[in-house]
A and B are shown apart, each in its own frame.
Chain A
C-alpha cells in the first residue's frame, strides 16, 4: 500500500491524468463563439431593447395612456405625457429611461393593449447617456428596426398574454389582442383587397 502511494507520488500519476484530459479536449469541438462576427441565437421572448409597437394599419403606436406600465414599474423609469383633446386621451410623449430599466417585463405584461414590447435586440450600448433615454419616436424606430430582422410573418411576444393567468382575469382589451402582422404581410393583404375591389 505504502509502496503504491510512493510510486504514484513519484510518477505524478494524478497530474498526468489531468494533462491527459486537457490533451483530449484539444481534439473536441470548440464551443467558443467569435462574438462580433458570429452571434448566438437568441431565444424567443428575450427581454432586450424596448420598443413601442407600430400599428401596421394606422402607422402609429397603440398606447392608450392608461398609465399601468408607470404604476407597475419597480424602477419607475417610464414617463408618459398625455393630454385630453376633444374628450379623448392622447399620448403626446412616451419616455423610457433604459439606463434605469431592470428588464423585468412587468410593463409588457401589464399593458392592456399590447402596445409595449421588449425586443430581442441587445446591442445598443452608447457613449452618451442621452441615447439611452428613449422617447416615443425612438421607441417606434426601435420597433421598425426589430421588425426588419424578424423572419416570420406575424409577431407575438410571450409576455403579452401571460400564460399563467386565467384569461378571465385579463382586461377585456387584452383578450382581444392577436398576433401582429409584419409590414410586408400587410402590404400583400392590401394589394389583394385592391385587386378584389378593382376586379
Chain B
C-alpha cells in the first residue's frame, strides 16, 4: 500500500446528519483532524417555490412562503406582503403595521430560541435545549391563539393582517415578555461563562468585517463581526421607525460574538414588543384600497367549465395597480439575515418571476471559508453559529 494514500480522507457529512440542521451535505477532505477542503452541497430540500409561484396568484403564493424558513414563517409572510404592497402601492393601516411588528418579533424570539437550543445541543449543552423549547412552546401557543396554526401561520395578508388580536393575547404576551429577560439570563448562566463553551466558541470560525461584507453576509452573522447593518434601521418597514431599539454588534467575528449578538437580540426583541403593545393604535387591520384578490367579490357564472374560472383576473382594479410598477424588491430583517423578495410583474394577477434572496443560501456559501483549516468538531459549531435553515436555502 502506498504510504501517501492514507494521508487524506474524504468524509461525507450529511445529508442525514443530526447536527447539520437539516439536509445539508458537506464533503470534507481531512488530514487527521484538520480540514483541508470543505464543499457544501445543497438542494436536497428543493421544492421549486420560485417556479411554482409563477403559476399562482399573489395571494396563493403567501402560504408557500411559510415553508421557506419554517422557524420564522411569520417574517417570511411579512416580507412577501411588503413586496406585493410596494408593487401595488397599498398603504397599510397603522394598527396592522404594529400587529405585524409584534408578530415578527415574536417569530424572531421563537427562531432564536430554536437556534440557541440546537446550537448548544450541538456543542454539548443539553439543558439549554430543554429550557429554550419550554419557552418556545408558550410562544407557539400564542401563535395558535391568534392565527389558528402553530408553525405555518399564513397570518399577514396583502394590505394588512388576517385577523385582529384580542386582549387575551396581549395580556399573555405581556406577561411572557415581562419574565423573558430572566429566562435569557438562565440560558446565560448555563453557558455564558462555561469553560467548555468558551473553548469551543472563542476564536473559532473567525471572519473579519471586510470579509463578511464581501461574502454578502447579513443579520447577526454580519453583526458579530462588528458591522452595523440592520434592515430594520436602514430601510425601516412596518412600525420599526416608531419604536426605539438598539442593534447589538460584536467585535471579533468569532462564534462567541455571534452567539452574544443573538442573545442581546432577545432582549431588544422583547423591548420592541413591549413598546408596540403600549403604542398599539385602534383602527382597521386591512387597507381600504387593498385589492379584492383576497375574496372573490364578483358573482360567478356557473355555466363555464370548471377549471377556467379566473376569479381574480376579473377584478380590474388589481390590474390598474400593477400597471404602475413592473418590478420590485423589498427586504425584511429575518432572524438569519436580510430576506428579500424580488417580483417581476406582467399585468396579470400572477407574478411573472419571483426570486427569494435567502440569507441561509448566502451563509451556506461561507462555510468553506469558516471551516477550512479548522478541526472537524468546529464544523458543527460553525454550522450552528451561522444558523442556516435548509428549507430557505434550497427553496
Contact = CB atoms under 8 A, between A and B. Distances in A.
Interface stretch (B210-218, B290-298, B367-375): B290-298
A103 B186 contact: no
Interface stretch (B140-148, B230-238, B340-348): B140-148
9 contacts: A17-B189, A65-B302, A66-B302, A71-B309, A102-B152, A158-B148, A159-B148, A159-B163, A164-B162
Contact of A171 (B63, B66, B164, B297): B297
Contacts of B63: 74, 102, 104, 106
Interface string A175-196: 0000000000000000000000
Interface string B58-74: 01111110110000000
B351 interface: no
Contact of A68 (B61, B64, B163, B300): B300
A71 B311 contact: yes
A89 B302 contact: yes
A18 B194 CA distance: 8
Given A21-B189, A164-B164, A70 B306 contact: yes
Contacts of B56: 74
Those 10 A-B pairs whose CB atoms lie nearest each other, nearest first: A14-B193, A104-B63, A164-B286, A74-B60, A45-B148, A47-B148, A18-B190, A43-B145, A104-B154, A164-B285
B149 A162 contact: no
B276 interface: no
A13 to B, nearest CB: 8
A165 B189 contact: no
B137 interface: yes
A72 interface: yes
B193 A165 contact: no
Interface residues of A, number: 42
A9 B193 CA distance: 11
Interface of B: 56, 59-64, 66-67, 127, 134, 137, 141, 144-145, 148-149, 152, 154, 157, 160-164, 186, 189-195, 284-286, 292, 294-297, 299-300, 302, 306, 309-311
Nearest to A172: B299
Nearest to B310: A71
A46 interface: yes
Contacts of A71: 296, 309-311
Contacts of A159: 148, 163
B306 A171 contact: no
A47 B149 contact: yes
A17 B64 CA distance: 45
Nearest to A9: B195
Given A65-B302, A74-B64, A164 B186 contact: no
A160 to B, nearest CB: 11
A110 interface: yes
Given A14-B192, A103-B149, 12 more contacts: A18-B127, A18-B191, A46-B144, A72-B60, A74-B63, A102-B152, A110-B295, A110-B296, A163-B164, A164-B164, A166-B286, A169-B297
